Amino acid sequence: MIAFTTRVSVPTHVLMRDIGGESVILNLNSERYLGLDDVGTRMLAVLSSSESIEKAYEVLLAEYDVDGELLRSDLQDLIEKLLENGLVEIGERGESL
């Protein structure tokens, strides 16, 4: 389980391209990629610009009409999938990644 006090960043070896509100994320080192729908794209954008996963959760909870526990689970699942493919990194809050 990933601590919501940590933060998420997109490494420099990962490219993201927006395609009509959806996105494709490519790890240039491994050539692994993942497609995200519009909600997944928004989740990653908020995650990567927030100081912690918890702060991103709060922003997304305010934006979407969703149960808080479902959103936590969806964020956890997305981050785990992105980590598995080397598309994001996790660091301590305030840590320079």
- pLDDT tens digits, residue range 23-54? 999 999 999 999 999 999 999 999 999 999 99
Predicted confidence at residue 21, as pLDDT, reads 81
Ramachandran bin of 18, using left for φ above 0, alpha for ψ from -120 to 50, beta for the remaining angles: beta
Domain boundaries, the chain: 7-89
The answer, yes or no, to whether residue 97 has pLDDT greater than 80, is no
- CATH code linked to domain 7-89: 3.90.930.60
Mean pLDDT over the full length of the chain? 93
Within 10 Å of residue 65's Cβ, how many Cβ atoms? 5
Looking at residue 89, what is its pLDDT? 96
